[in-house]
Amino acid sequence: MPLDGRERERLRWRSRRGLLELDLVLQRFWSPPGPDLDEAQGRALARLLAMPDNDLLDLVMDRVPNADPALEQVLVRLKAA
């Protein structure tokens, strides 16, 4: 199932961060036409976005390894953004 449109928008707003570096990565991730996200990927993204900024940046910059396989797929796309 593709992610519900409003849930998408919620995640998009939650991509506004306190650290500029994350804003920039997430801006690219969302750049038009925007990423394909199904419900499971939406849930993974929501969990990533719920992390403290510094921890998320460490993951995105590959400074620490990701220990949670459920996050891997979306994280790889964030890193590539």
Partner 1 sequence: MALSIRKFDVVIVGAGGSGLRAALELSSAGLKVAVLSKVFPTRSHTVAAQGGVGAALGNMGEDSWQWHMYDTIKGSDWLGDQDAIEFMCRTAPEVVIELEHFGMPFDRNDNGTIYQRPFGGHSANFGEKPVQRSCCAADRTGHAMLHALYQRNVYARTQFFVEWMALDLVRDAEGAVLGVTALEMETGQVVLFHAKATLFATGGGGRIFHSSTNAFINTGDGVGMAARAGIPLEDMEFWQFHPTGVAGAGVLITEGVRGEGGILLNKNGERFMERYAPTMKDLASRDVVSRAMATEIKEGRGAGEHADHILLKLDHLGPEVIDKRLPGIREIAIKFANVDPIKEPIPVVPTCHYQMGGIPTNYRGEVIVPEGGAVPGFYAAGECGCASIHGANRLGTNSLTDLLVMGRSAGMSVLEYLKGHGSHRPLPNDAGENALARLARLDGQQGGEDVNEVRGEIQRTMQAHCGVFRFPDMLAQGVEKIRALEGRMARTGIKDKSMVFNTARIEALELDNIYETARATMVCAQAREESRGAHDRADFPKRDDEKWLKHSLWYKAGDRLAYKAVNLKPLTVESIEPKARVY
Which chain residues interact with partner 1 by CB under 8 A?
6, 9-10, 12-14, 16-21, 23-25, 27, 52-54, 61-62
What are the distances in angstroms from CA 18 to CA 56, 60, 73?
11, 15, 24
Shortest distance, CB of residue 66 to partner 1, whole angstroms?
A: 17
Cβ proximity to partner 1: between 11 and 74 the closer is: 11
Nearer to partner 1, 18 or 69 (CB): 18
Tell me the closest approach of the beta carbon of residue 10 to partner 1, in angstroms. 5
Closer to partner 1 at the Cβ: 10 or 77?
10
Q: 11-44 burial string, b = 16+ CB within 10 Å, else e? A: beeebebeeeebeebbeebeeeeebebeeebbbb
Q: Which structure tokens are listed for 6?
A: 């409003």
